[in-house]
Amino acid sequence: MLTIDKLPLIRDKALWMRRTAFTMVHKAQLGHPGGDFSAIDIMATLYFGVLNYDPKRPDWRERDRFVMSKGHATGALYSALCAAGYFPEEWLPTYMQPKSLLNGHPNRNYLPGVETNTGPLGHGFPVATGIAIAGQITGATYRTFVLTGDGEQQEGSNWEAAMVCGHRKLANLTLIIDRNRLQQGAGTEETSGLDPLDDKYRAFGFDVDEVNGHDHAALLALLSAAPGTKPRCVIANTTKGKGVSFMEGVASWHHGVPNAAQYEQAMKELV
Amino acid sequence: MAASPHGAAPTTAGFQDCRNIWVQTLETLAEADPRIVAVVNDSVGSSKLNSFQKKFPDRLINVGIAEQVMVGVSAGLANGGRIPFVSAASCFITARALEQVKADIAYANFNVKLVGQSSGIAYGELGATHHSIEDLAWLRPLTNLAIIVPADAWETAEAVKWAAAHEGPVYLRLSRMPVPDLNIPNRVFRSGQAETVREGSDVTIIACGTTVHLAAGAADLLKAEGIAARVLNFSTINPLDEAALHAAAATGAIVTVEEASVRGGLGGAVAEFTSTNKPVPVERVGFPGFLPTGSTDWLFKEFGLSPEGIAAAAHRALARKA
């Protein structure tokens, strides 16, 4: 079980990413910490257990691609890219400051490691589909992973992409849905319900798995498994704000920002 | 998609449907460069891509009737090292997928070529849903998106070749309306540079696409009246040829002509430029908004996109000249 060795590293990186993301948000007094924290275990697993990449060669053609479709979760993305070695830690405090390369939503022209510009929801999955098609028609061996929010699944463009993935049997693509069941103001099911999400993706031609999105071992096993014959959808059941007691499952932390006392409290918990 | 796209429009002798040269050029380029792929929204036939599909079956990516994913996929194909030519009716590729064009192509700065087919009012009687007269207005602010509106078959071929060689996003606005060759000797296509079709210094007529030959016709009418009208083929809308616009303003009167809305397109760009740099009368010939039912030919004449209509606009501009 080669992969077991990776778990301590993934756990350490996820903790560092949470502390880093929350520090960025606290300093900027801007950001989306709830969605950062629901995604961070997935991203730490990808960057430190699954993805094949070289931060010194961000344009390496055979790199595995990770597309952050929930582009507002830049606390998670930037802390992951920094941890992965794409840019120095000194850049992190510039988050959302004037002329910072760390814009509120990611820009691939600013930062190495960003595969495409996202922010408006429902964009990353179609772009990831195109990346996977490029791999399919050229026989490239790279894999493409895309992370969407769950509220984001309400955007119709995702279902256009799902039809294309299913039709073309894009086995080199894995869609991960951060299923924290909250969108910015309320639950997904009380807003415009998504369930049964698994059946929907099966009907669109995906292999579907559900996983605890904070269980590194389970995520690692699923995401590092060899591609099958269909595109894969991983529904990662998560908790918005995971890891900080007063944020967990609270919708207002979608774009809430901590005061000094809350920041101090969170840092005590994130150890 | 148009449920039943028009067939080839009736051709006047010497007039050509530029879609033929577009696809011939693309096929030639694709033979030499395996990175070139075509992406369509079920628009194989209307884009004349049937033979491309036969030659390069793996390189014709038809996502079905789904414009958002069509444009998003093209950004991903560029990420994967391909050079996508995304071909669809211009009303759908620009309007339906506008946020994808903005965010995935222009803002992300991917090397994608958007090809708007049957632009302007080529779909005539099908009405405003299928007209694409707003596209120039809503794409112009995407400043890194090169916008090229070829005027004839020769320029269509050159623009396709240029787009393939250019590293960066491009919008090629093609027409299905047959146009004559401009027959300019020793032509060289230079993106970002206006082309002089007629020399003159009394007034400048700035046209693009299907209206350039009409502007030349207007200059011939004006010449008979002793008025020397300069005619510019302003095929590049982004970036603007500012030197040509300075020179145009120096003639003291300008007419703009486009198969597009008079709001925000070529006319809007010229008016922005002159109001900032050298205010001169600018008469904008184009369409005022949603159009009544009618054939393309009828609508052209009804709204003054004709040699006579353009010459009349020149007279209005000259009357306002200081």
Percent of chain B with pLDDT over 90: 93
For residue B11, the model assigns a pLDDT of 57
Cα separation, B83 vs B163, in Å, equals 10
Report the mean per-residue pLDDT for chain A: 96
**A127, A137, A143: which to substitute to probe chain B, counting the most B Cβ within 10 Å?**
A127
Please report the ipTM that was assigned to this predicted complex: 0.96
**A64, A116, A155: which to substitute to probe chain B, counting the most B Cβ within 10 Å?**
A116
The DSSP code sequence of A107-143 is -TTTSTT--S---STT-HHHHHHHHHHHHHHHT----
For residue B13, the model assigns a pLDDT of 73
For residue A196, the model assigns a pLDDT of 98
Cα separation, A34 vs A256, in Å, equals 8
A129·B76 Cβ contact <8 A: yes
Residue in B59, B75, B103 closest to A130 by CB = B75
Judge whether residue B73 has pLDDT over 50: yes
Residue in B64, B77, B109 closest to A109 by CB = B109
Q: Which of A120-124, A183-187, B54-58 has the lowest mean pLDDT?
A: A183-187
Report the mean per-residue pLDDT for chain B: 95
Give the model's confidence band at B4: pLDDT under 50 very low, under 70 low, under 90 confident, else very high: very low
Judge whether residue B173 has pLDDT over 70: yes
Do residues A159 and A189 make contact, with C-beta atoms less than 8 angstroms apart?
Answer: no
Show residues of chain A in contact with B76, CB under 8 Å: 116, 126-134
Give the model's confidence band at A4: pLDDT under 50 very low, under 70 low, under 90 confident, else very high: low
- CA A46, chain centre distance (Å): 9
Percent of chain B with pLDDT over 70: 96
A123·B37 Cβ contact <8 A: no
Show residues of chain B in contact with A130, CB under 8 Å: 72-80, 84
Residue in A118, A130, A163 closest to B79 by CB = A130
Give the model's confidence band at B46: pLDDT under 50 very low, under 70 low, under 90 confident, else very high: confident
Handedness of CA A74, A75, A81, A87 (dihedral sign): positive
Cα separation, B19 vs B136, in Å, equals 20
Residue in A108, A129, A157 closest to B108 by CB = A108
Judge whether residue B322 has pLDDT over 80: no
Judge whether residue B114 has pLDDT over 50: yes
The closest alpha carbon to B52, from B36, B64, B75, belongs to B36
- Measured in residues, chain A has a length of 271
Does B290 contact chain A (CB < 8 Å)? no
Cα separation, B93 vs B116, in Å, equals 7
The closest alpha carbon to B132, from B119, B115, B114, B123, belongs to B119
pLDDT in tens, B175-198: 999 999 999 999 999 999 999 999
Do residues B166 and B142 make contact, with C-beta atoms less than 8 angstroms apart?
Answer: no
Does B64 contact chain A (CB < 8 Å)? yes
Residue in A117, A132, A135 closest to B107 by CB = A117
Percent of chain A with pLDDT over 70: 99
Q: How far apart are the first and last CA of chain A?
A: 27
pLDDT in tens, A153-177: 999 999 999 999 999 999 999 999 9
Judge whether residue B248 has pLDDT over 90: yes
pLDDT in tens, B217-239: 999 999 999 999 999 999 999 99
pLDDT in tens, A22-80: 999 999 999 999 999 999 999 999 999 999 999 999 999 999 999 999 999 999 999 99
Does B74 contact chain A (CB < 8 Å)? yes
Judge whether residue B204 has pLDDT over 80: yes
Judge whether residue A2 has pLDDT over 80: no
Cα separation, A3 vs A9, in Å, equals 11
Rounded to an integer, the average pLDDT of A8-27 is 98
| Amino acid, single-letter form, for residue B66 | A
For residue A11, the model assigns a pLDDT of 98
Rounded to an integer, the average pLDDT of B291-312 is 98
